[in-house]
Amino acid sequence: MKQSKDFNISQYLMEFTLEQNLNIFKDEVQKTRVEFIEVYGMAIPRFINEYWTSKQRQASSIHEISYRACFKPQLPRFFIDLMTEEGDVVYDPFSGRGTTVIEAGLMGRNVIANDINPLSEIIAYPRFFIPDPAQVEKRLAEIPYDKRCRADIDISMFFHRDTEAEIVSLTNYLDERKRNGEEDHIDRWIRMVATNRLTGHSPGFFSVYTLPPNQAVSPEQQIKINEKRKQKPEYRDTRKLILKKTRDLIKNVTEVQKRNLRKAGEKAVFLSEDARFTQQIPSDSVDLTVTSPPFLDVVQYSQDNWLRCWFNSIDDKVIAEKITMAKTVEEWSRVMGDVFQELFRITKTGGWVAFEVGEVRGGSINLDEHVVPLGLEAGFKCEGILINLQQFTKTSNIWGIDNNKSGTNTNRIVIFKKER
């Protein structure tokens, strides 16, 4: 629901109450807390509340693709719903797994996605064109699997030799169809699902037990894991696993949402550029940007995705050189300052930017305080900082280490508006 020109977002955030928190006992309703930081002599408000929660509205199953350091779909949905209407253009310059653009597509918006790693498009774009599982099953049956096939690198510590043969046969088949100009939405869908199923920590993945799928360990590390767990790769039926994941991804996507996604996908723009230089995007064309940039050197995106890159014939070392992995706040700010200049160019007058950053290095650095002046210097007006506080209990057990943890999950989003 796009707001009117005189919409006061500060007042909206101040008075906001999450619907599920409404209670007949009004004193139990969580109210917004406000604090201020000073930037260039201006008092910039921080609005602190629970603005969304994973329990508020079940996210679409189409988002269930693992990728390192991605935010929940509820985050972009909050801003898309508040600041745009159907047909508006929503952009993410650091698209990752495509959470922002997929959510925007589900909601009937047009989308532009950019990520320096071409893997982003491989795992995002196919989900705009949801196939019938029967079509996927038929295509999988057509793939000639040769048990003699072997990878051009040693991946025996991850996969049974017959599973490896199926993986190599699959990528050979998909690559040949692409070279011959025969690639279609079914091929791209299968590639996307297979990319997501390569490695993981359950029998639902092609590999032996390893780290979660958004973190591919090195071959040397996997050998140590196998020795420690006294395990060896067992055969996994890649056809069955691809088909199962297909059904899981589309299980709660409605027919309306499928039509919305396809319509958005037909117009979608996917780029693989430096976010500072996106000349393909016209000036004054974007209604809303929702994004989360790389946070200093916290996440090693290329290392985490090396096996996915191999499967898709992407040189992860080349990608690593392109990805901005600043080691200092000053270096990071210089890069992001240029990003904001580009965002100002492409944003419509009256358009918005929701720029999510986190607490890094143990909370010793609040990047929101560094982002505010970058947006102001580019020409935006800073409407404030939204801090979403969500209580959680995290339960995990990896490598035999029990990690039951209760705490607060924090999202910090700096909100900008282009007024001229």
Residues 6 or more apart from 28 whose CB is under 8 A from it? none
196 in any annotated domain:
yes
> What is the reported pLDDT for 198?
96
283 in any annotated domain:
no
List the end-to-end C-alpha distance of the chain, in Å, as a whole number. Answer: 22
Q: Which of 152, 105, 155 is nearest to 128 (CA)?
A: 105
346 in any annotated domain:
no
User: Strand 269-271 and strand 286-291: pairing?
Assistant: unpaired
Sign of the dihedral through C-alpha 240, 245, 250, 251? positive
419 in any annotated domain:
no
> What is the reported pLDDT for 402?
37
173 in any annotated domain:
yes
Give pLDDT tens digits along the chain (420 positions).
666 656 899 999 999 987 655 554 445 557 899 999 999 999 999 999 999 876 545 789 999 998 876 789 999 999 999 999 999 999 999 999 999 999 999 999 999 999 999 999 999 999 999 999 999 999 999 999 999 999 999 999 999 999 999 999 999 999 999 999 999 999 999 999 999 999 999 999 999 999 876 677 899 999 999 999 999 999 999 999 999 999 999 999 999 999 999 999 999 999 999 999 999 999 999 999 999 998 765 555 557 889 999 999 998 888 877 776 677 889 999 999 999 999 999 999 999 999 999 766 556 678 899 999 999 999 999 999 999 987 654 433 333 333 334 444 678 999 999 998
- The number of distinct structural domains making up the chain is 1
180 in any annotated domain:
yes
> What is the reported pLDDT for 305?
86
152 in any annotated domain:
yes
272 in any annotated domain:
no
Q: What is the pTM of this model?
A: 0.90
Interatomic CA distance for residues 381 and 271, integer angstroms = 27
> What is the reported pLDDT for 71?
85
Interatomic CA distance for residues 413 and 293, integer angstroms = 11
What range defines the domain where residue 202 resides?
133-248
